[in-house]
């Protein structure tokens, strides 16, 4: 307890410098903008800005990237409430009751409760993270390659367990992620694999090109296909502060959303999107008058918006304390750390205390920035919503090109981005979930290294993975979860999973 508080003080010492405060504010500002603008998700924005962070210190870069992630959760609600289209995926459910409130002339309280709920949940999430992450890292510090391997397997199985749609398609995507990551040099002996003599492929597939293609270009292709017309209800924003009755209806939903979001953020495959959906379902189920939902119930805004913010803090714990990302955004953050020469894992907090505690402290500060940015400046964000998508998307596409190119200064990456963009667009249409692909792609080198190190240190082959108690337990949990997953899918789909 005291150790965590001391660490937090160190973190505030790191973050409370003009340069880091500026980067935290800039990240919060960009995050809010990304959340507000439909068609630009936090993942694509992080990927676009990742090369910019290469020129910053690791702490500055990570503070900026993390604040874009949680800033987007704040901004997404504005678009959902005023336009009835989600600014980003975690704000989809906010459209249901938030937009109804706006239609009834209550856009102000809807925006207000979304921002205040986000602030409360975001802060509560970081408080729990402050004490929880070091405890997890301390427990995992004795892990060797077999335990790390088993932990990553469990993380991947959890991801598959949580995805929507077909499990078998999720498994296929995961394996495809492993295969794509195998292109280039073997991490252990430096031998070329799947390069077919190409110099461009010998460096492997660039993470940024892949992510910007799958989540940036594919999103643009989906959006330009429909080019839906929307109605902005911006003239109805009055009185952002919720009334006493609104507070009475919302405070429990905010607390429930905070708790649920945090737990779902911890689980690989969970994260802000799942948290928001689950919170909405929970609020509706336990409501005294469930028929109010869908007609402007303020709990339907307060719960999900709190849950998606709390889930951000939860989802950062496995990546910072174990080195295991639970969703594509945290996978990219892990990639960013690796590019900076830092390997997150159980030793991360002990070896990089300034960086870890700096990130944690920046989240306290960032939440305050975001509250200030989202409530008094709501009028500014509304102006951005007036920009038609047909004008915005070419600029976003240009940014995708610059973001991809700037990673390696290699035009080949643009072809990779285009290829993954088209593939992502088609695969989305066929209801393939892309999250397992990205997570597997990022984890593959670590997973392969752990597996091979485990087999090298073993005297009886793969038995090492069963004989060690922690490894055995983690793999047994993976097997049970896999069995449950396939049984559930077989039952619900009435056929093959």
Partner 1 sequence: MFERALNVFWVVLGATSAVYAWSLGMIGPAGPESGLFPFIASVIVASAGVVLLLRPATLAHAPDFPRGGGLWRVLGVILGLIVMAAGMPYLGFSVTSFITMIILLRTVDRSSWLSAVTLAFLSTVSVFWLFGSMLGMALPRGPWGW
Size of site (CB under 8 A) for partner 1: 62
Determine the 3-state secondary structure of 185 from DSSP: strand
- Least distance between partner 1 and beta carbon 30 (Å): 13
- Least distance between partner 1 and beta carbon 428 (Å): 9
389-408 vs 412-429: helix crossing angle, rounded to 10: 130
**Contact criterion met (CB below 8 Å) for 68 and 406:** no
**Contact criterion met (CB below 8 Å) for 355 and 62:** yes
| Residue 185: CB atoms within 10 Å | 14
Distance in angstroms (rounded) separating the CA atoms of residues 95 and 100: 8
Is 287 or 414 the residue whose CB approaches partner 1 more closely? 414
Instruction: Write out the binding residues for partner 1, residues 378-437 only, by CB under 8 A.
Output: 390-391, 393-395, 397-399, 401-402, 405-406, 409, 411, 414-415, 417-418, 421-422, 425-426, 429-431
Is 368 or 455 the residue whose CB approaches partner 1 more closely? 455
Distance in angstroms (rounded) separating the CA atoms of residues 427 and 410: 26
Choose the binding region for partner 1 from 107-115, 243-251, 280-288, 447-455 (rule: CB under 8 A): 447-455
Is 183 or 375 the residue whose CB approaches partner 1 more closely? 183
Choose the binding region for partner 1 from 215-223, 285-293, 352-360, 374-382 (rule: CB under 8 A): 215-223
Distance in angstroms (rounded) separating the CA atoms of residues 401 and 437: 22
Tell which one of 9, 227, 473, 476 touches partner 1 (CB under 8 A). 227
Is 356 or 432 the residue whose CB approaches partner 1 more closely? 432
Is 189 or 289 the residue whose CB approaches partner 1 more closely? 189
Query: What x/- string results for residues 310 through 349 when contact with partner 1 is judged by CB under 8 A?
Result: ----------------------------------------
CA distances from 479 to 332, 346, 443, 483 (A): 27, 24, 19, 6
Query: What x/- string results for residues 451 through 470 when contact with partner 1 is judged by CB under 8 A?
Result: xx--xx--------------
Structural tokens at position 222? 């989906």
Choose the binding region for partner 1 from 49-57, 129-137, 316-324, 352-360 (rule: CB under 8 A): 49-57
210 binds partner 1 (CB under 8 A): no
Choose the binding region for partner 1 from 99-107, 141-149, 186-194, 280-288 (rule: CB under 8 A): 186-194
- Least distance between partner 1 and beta carbon 188 (Å): 8
**Contact criterion met (CB below 8 Å) for 105 and 236:** yes
Distance in angstroms (rounded) separating the CA atoms of residues 113 and 248: 12
Choose the binding region for partner 1 from 48-56, 85-93, 252-260, 354-362 (rule: CB under 8 A): 48-56
| 390-399 own/partner pairs: CB under 8 Å, 24+ apart | 390/227, 392/37, 392/39, 393/39, 393/220, 393/223, 393/224, 396/39, 396/40, 396/216, 396/220, 397/217, 397/220, 399/48
Distance in angstroms (rounded) separating the CA atoms of residues 95 and 231: 13
Q: Please provide the DSSP assignment of 243-272 as one string.
A: PHHHHHHHHHHHHHHHHHHHHHHHSTT-SH
Find, among 318, 347, 340, 346, the residue nearest to 330 by Cα: 318
- Least distance between partner 1 and beta carbon 426 (Å): 7
Residue 184: its H or E element: strand 184-185
- Least distance between partner 1 and beta carbon 342 (Å): 22
Tell which one of 89, 136, 176, 466 touches partner 1 (CB under 8 A). 176
- Least distance between partner 1 and beta carbon 175 (Å): 4
**Contact criterion met (CB below 8 Å) for 328 and 434:** yes
**Contact criterion met (CB below 8 Å) for 53 and 60:** yes
**Contact criterion met (CB below 8 Å) for 474 and 154:** yes
| 452-455 own/partner pairs: CB under 8 Å, 24+ apart | 452/188, 453/145, 454/144, 454/145, 454/146, 454/149
Choose the binding region for partner 1 from 26-34, 91-99, 130-138, 225-233 (rule: CB under 8 A): 225-233
Is 77 or 450 the residue whose CB approaches partner 1 more closely? 450
Looking at residue 290, the DSSP 8-state letter turns out to be G
- Least distance between partner 1 and beta carbon 93 (Å): 23
Query: What x/- string results for residues 478 through 497 when contact with partner 1 is judged by CB under 8 A?
Result: ---------------x-xxx
Is 340 or 410 the residue whose CB approaches partner 1 more closely? 410
The residues of the shown chain that bind partner 1, judged by CB under 8 A, are 51-52, 55, 168-169, 171-172, 174-176, 178-179, 182, 186, 188-189, 191, 193-194, 217, 220-221, 224-227, 390-391, 393-395, 397-399, 401-402, 405-406, 409, 411, 414-415, 417-418, 421-422, 425-426, 429-431, 444, 447-448, 451-452, 455-456, 493, 495-497
């Amino acid at each position: 307890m005291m150790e965590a508080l001391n660490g937090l003080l160190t973190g505030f010492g790191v973050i409370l410098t003009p340069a880091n405060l500026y980067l935290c504010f800039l990240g919060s500002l960009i995050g809010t903008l990304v959340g507000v603008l439909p068609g630009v998700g936090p993942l694509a924005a992080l990927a676009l800005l990742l090369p910019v962070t290469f020129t910053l210190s690791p702490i500055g870069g990570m503070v900026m990237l993390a604040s874009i992630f949680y800033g987007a959760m704040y901004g997404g609600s504005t678009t959902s409430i005023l336009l009835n289209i989600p600014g980003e995926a975690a704000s989809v459910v906010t459209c249901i009751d938030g937009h109804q409130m706006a239609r009834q002339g209550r856009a102000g309280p809807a925006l207000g409760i979304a921002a205040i709920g986000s602030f409360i949940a975001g802060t509560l999430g970081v408080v729990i993270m402050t004490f929880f992450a070091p405890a997890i890292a301390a427990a995992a510090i004795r892990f060797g390659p077999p335990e790390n391997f088993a932990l990553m397997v469990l993380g991947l199985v959890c991801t598959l367990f949580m995805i929507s749609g077909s499990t078998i398609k999720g498994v296929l995507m995961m394996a495809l992620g492993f295969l794509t990551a195998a292109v280039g040099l073997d991490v252990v002996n430096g031998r070329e694999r799947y390069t077919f003599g190409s110099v461009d492929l010998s460096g492997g597939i660039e993470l940024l090109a892949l992510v910007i293609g799958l989540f940036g270009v594919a999103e643009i292709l989906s959006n330009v296909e429909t080019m839906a017309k929307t109605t902005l209800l911006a003239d109805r924003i009055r009185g952002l502060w919720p009334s006493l009755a609104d507070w009475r209806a919302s405070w429990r939903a905010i607390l429930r959303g905070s708790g649920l979001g945090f737990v779902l953020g911890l689980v690989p495959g969970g994260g802000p999107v799942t948290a928001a959906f689950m919170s909405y379902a929970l609020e509706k189920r336990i409501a005294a008058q469930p028929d109010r939902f869908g007609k402007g119930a303020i709990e339907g805004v307060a719960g999900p918006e709190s849950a998606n913010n709390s889930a951000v803090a939860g989802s950062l714990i496995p990546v910072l304390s174990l080195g295991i990302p639970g969703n594509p955004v945290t996978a990219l953050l892990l990639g960013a750390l690796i590019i900076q020469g830092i390997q997150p894992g159980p030793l991360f907090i002990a070896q990089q205390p300034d960086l870890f505690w700096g990130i944690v402290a920046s989240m306290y500060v960032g939440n305050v920035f975001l509250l200030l940015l989202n409530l008094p400046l709501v009028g500014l964000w509304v102006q951005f919503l007036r920009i038609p998508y047909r004008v915005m998307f070419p600029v976003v596409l240009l940014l995708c090109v610059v973001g991809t190119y700037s990673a390696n200064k290699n035009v080949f990456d643009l072809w990779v981005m285009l290829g993954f963009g088209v593939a992502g667009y088609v695969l989305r249409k066929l209801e393939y979930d892309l999250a397992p692909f990205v997570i597997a792609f990022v984890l593959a080198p670590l997973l392969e290294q752990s597996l091979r190190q485990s087999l090298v240190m073993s005297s009886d082959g793969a038995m090492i993975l069963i004989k060690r108690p922690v490894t055995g337990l983690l793999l047994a949990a993976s097997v049970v979860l896999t069995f449950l997953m396939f049984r559930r899918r077989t039952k619900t789909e009435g056929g093959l999973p």
